[in-house]
Amino acid sequence: MRTINPTDLGARAFYQYMTSAVAPRPIAFASTVDATGNVNLSPFSFFNVMGIDPPILAFAPNRRGRDNSQKDTTLNLYEVPEVVINMVSYEMVQQMSLSSAEFERGVNEFEKAGFTMQPSELVKPPRVKESPAQFECKVIEIKEIGSMVLVLAEVILGHFSYNILNENDQIDQTKTDWVSRLGGDWYARASGAALFEVPRPQYGIGVSALPESVRMSRILTGNDLGQLGSLTAFPTEEEIAACGASEAMLTLRKEARLGCQYLPDVLHANARQLLVKGQVKQALLAVLLGEGME
């Protein structure tokens, strides 16, 4: 593993490692206005949700690397401390990228990138009509440290397209198509096979409770062990015995014997298949059956 001290490499060079490793990052497509009403629209990937009560979004339009000057977004926020954070979906990513070009101050990126300005209800900057989720915000603090310009903004109104909502008026992630930023010119698309669910764990038995032979398995991965350790209770001896006497397990024992295979490996492989199906308890029973067996 390569170890790097940021001060040895230099800020801009280390930045490439930072943005490629801390990824993917959501994109804040921020619309602002200056004191005379000129509109600016710019994307920032140093961004995330930071508060619940009140709802807080944070993003950082850092100073420009070439001359350390403030970006138009920052200058606008000092004049008019209001912003709309528009979320970016795949169908608008190319236009969003175009808006990030270094246009002169006062140029309206809505027009340059072909987006539609939609009036906000509580703040001066307009919303991006094409965005499926928009947050009208009041800026509550701007903090500068070095080249960083951190903006904390309180959400005072949210707008969500019916196209991404389910029958309960909640956002359905299978209907979204969010885009996120990686390093260099790379982006990620959160849709289709890229989406998966991980149930929130209860107070589980933990990986440490698993037998050493299971923890050191040649078949099971760290993710597999995490699933096994998330179970809230260890199987009883009766449950283990009943599983061992089941037709499925008897068949596996026979296959291992006829195929001259190491039975614990066969059981661990079977456990992986059960985990894919979400049958976590059955998977744990399977690996426990392999304890002390050849």
Per-residue pLDDT tens over the stretch 198-250: 878 777 889 998 889 889 999 999 999 999 998 888 888 898 888 888 888 88
Tell whether 224 and 169 lie within a shared domain: no
For residue 199, being part of any structural domain is answered with no
- Report whether 214 contacts 225 (CB < 8 A): yes
Supply the pTM of this predicted model: 0.84
What's residue 294's pLDDT? 45
Confidence grade of residue 293 (pLDDT, cut at 50, 70, 90): very low
Distance CA 27, CA 44 (A): 6
CA angle 103, 105, 111 (to 5 degrees): 55
Distance CA 95, CA 241 (A): 61
For tokens 């959501």, the residue is 26
Distance CA 224, CA 217 (A): 10
Tell whether 141 and 42 lie within a shared domain: yes
For residue 55, being part of any structural domain is answered with yes
SS3 232: coil
Tell whether 88 and 14 lie within a shared domain: yes
Q: Total domain count for the chain? A: 2
| pLDDT higher than 70, residue 292 | no
Mean pLDDT of 101-129: 93
Tell whether 156 and 270 lie within a shared domain: no
For residue 158, being part of any structural domain is answered with yes
Distance CA 288, CA 292 (A): 9
**Phi–psi pair at 115, nearest 5 degrees:** -90, 160
For residue 23, being part of any structural domain is answered with yes
For residue 182, being part of any structural domain is answered with yes
Distance CA 287, CA 264 (A): 7
Mean pLDDT of 164-172: 97
For residue 123, being part of any structural domain is answered with yes
Q: Quick one: what percent of the chain has pLDDT higher than 90?
A: 63
| pLDDT higher than 50, residue 180 | yes
Range of the domain at 218: 207-289
| pLDDT higher than 50, residue 12 | yes
